[in-house]
Chains A and B, each alone.
Chain A
Amino acid sequence: MTVTQGVFYLMAAFTVGASLLVVLARNIVHCAIALVFAFFGVAALFVLLDAEFLAATQVLLYVGGITILLLFAIMLTSRISARGGKIMNEQVGISAVVALALFGLMAYANLKGFPALVPPMLAASDNTASLGRLLLTTYVLPFEVVSLLLLAAMVGAIVLARREQGKD
């Protein structure tokens, strides 16, 4: 077992553990904090795959952006954060089936698509530059579509916030 493998198993266990905590913790703030660690674990896995740029982006956007906003929203609604809610309800069976099906699908796709371990496709030294180049050449259309989507979401959020203000 090499160091890399050891680190991989450690981080994988860490990520899965944190993710389980996200689903199972009774206190919603604990869930959100566990989510931070889950995202962090995923970033570590990216590093092991020599995808440092993705790892940094993962931390920057998911940890630094999304979870902070999540925590922000939770704290603004103090009533939710004050007490632990129920985590199970009558739909638990159906969702378990759906989750298992999704897991099977992804496992199947992964095993089928990558039958053996493959080396990283890009040279490690300049994968940030290549990523940028690809985004602005081959994948420029999806890239722009995504940014358009985000723009629409932003405008929507502004409209919602404005209306709230107009009421007063």
Chain B
Amino acid sequence: MEQFYNAFETWGLPLFVPQLIVMVVVATAVLIFVAVSVMFMVWWERKISAHIQVRFGPMRVGGWHGWAQSIADGIKLLIKEDIVPEGADRLVFALAPMVVFAAGLAAYVIIPFGPGLIVSDLNIGVLFYISISSLTVVGIIMAGWSSNNKYSVLGAIRSAAQAVSYEVPLVVSILGVIMTVGSLSMTRIVEAQQGVWFVIPQLLGFLIYLIAAIAECNRLPFDIPEAESELVAGFHVEYSGMRFAIFFLAEYANMFTVSAIATALFLGGWHGPLLPGWLWFLLKTYFLIFVMMWLRWTLARLRVDQLMNLGWKVLLPLAFLNMGITGLILVLRG
């Protein structure tokens, strides 16, 4: 890396040129990873749901078990007509998917795929993820409001309420880990799990995190902002084509993010025998994603009030309990 920078200096170019090049390359790499990973996840979700439901799912496109189905769907979405509903707020309507996707993408900055394989090891790592994930809701509200549709407004309101309610237990549930490590840096947290994964001492925190994270991703059983049987499709009911594809991409990108964060915080990140670190990390992450898909195709949807009750009356007290016990143990140990 140093040599790379030096090379530019010898050519007489200012420093920000190589810096910019590095940034663009890294961002492109992340973007490609996200796109490929999402395509894989969509195909996987379709196959998993199909096999849960005693059917096959996509079998034709691409030959082997319809592996190219997602690519075909993506191309189809790209070339569809761009429809903006009448009476919609055009600017906000166009901006909303970008906000949602940007928020989803930004979180990839702090995912530690392996030792040193991290875009930027911020020293506020976890906090960065938490704060950036709250941006998604702004995008959802923008989408819901600008569509000029009552179902989407209802979906946006539900989404706002849900996000505010579940952000709190989510943050408190990972405090136990942060207190144990004494750092917010993702790399430091993973390194601290050399011996015992935090899922063992922090089992309660892990479960709370998982539930709250599924709610953050708006997935069943917490998908009430887009509940198709009540609100048709909630906040993105008026979106189609490319804009819808971006929402879709963001949803799956978020799924990957929360699973990756859970892997790093609780499941020992890249630690594991035999296989290389990055592979272990991806294996654990995709296992968590599989769990989320499994839940989605097995459970029914919660109701709004039940969702709120679960968040505030069950998860939050438990998360505080977890934090208190962790603190007590840390103090007693000295």
> CB within 8 Å of B: which residues of A?
2-3, 6, 27, 29-30, 33, 36, 40, 52-53, 55-60, 63-65, 67-69, 71-72, 75-76, 78, 81, 124-126, 128-129
Contacts and interface: CB of A to CB of B under 8 A. Distances in A.
A129 B138 CA distance: 30
Given A63-B138, A128-B124, A33 B131 contact: no
B293 to A, nearest CB: 27
Contacts of A58: 131
B184 A128 contact: yes
Contact of B16 (A2, A30, A68, A71): A2
A133 to B, nearest CB: 12
Interface in B129-144: 130-135, 137-138, 141-142, 144
Interface of B: 15-16, 19-20, 89, 92, 95, 122-124, 127-128, 130-135, 137-138, 141-142, 144-145, 153, 156-157, 160-161, 163-164, 167, 182, 184
B134 A65 contact: yes
B135 A64 contact: yes
B127 A78 contact: no
A83 B127 CA distance: 38
Of all A-B residue pairs in the complex, the 10 with the closest CB atoms, nearest first, are A64-B134, A60-B131, A59-B131, A3-B16, A56-B127, A56-B131, A52-B124, A72-B160, A71-B141, A56-B124
Nearest to A29: B145
Given A6-B16, A76-B157, A68 B127 contact: no
Name, among B92, B137, B141, the residue most crowded by chain A CB atoms within 10 Å (CB to CB): B141
9 contacts: A33-B138, A59-B131, A59-B134, A60-B127, A60-B130, A68-B141, A71-B138, A76-B157, A78-B153
Nearest to B134: A64
A126 B123 CA distance: 8
Nearest to A43: B131
Contacts of A128: 123-124, 127, 184
Contacts of B15: 2-3
Contacts of B167: 64
Given A3-B15, A71-B138, A75-B153, 17 more contacts: A29-B145, A53-B127, A55-B124, A57-B131, A59-B135, A60-B131, A63-B134, A63-B135, A63-B138, A64-B135, A64-B167, A65-B164, A71-B160, A72-B161, A75-B141, A126-B123, A128-B124
B164 A68 contact: yes
Contact of A3 (B19, B89, B157): B19
Nearest to B132: A59
Contacts of B122: 52
A34 to B, nearest CB: 11
A3 B134 CA distance: 28
Nearest to A6: B16
Name, among A33, A63, A125, the residue most crowded by chain B CB atoms within 10 Å (CB to CB): A33
A36 B160 CA distance: 14
A132 B157 CA distance: 34
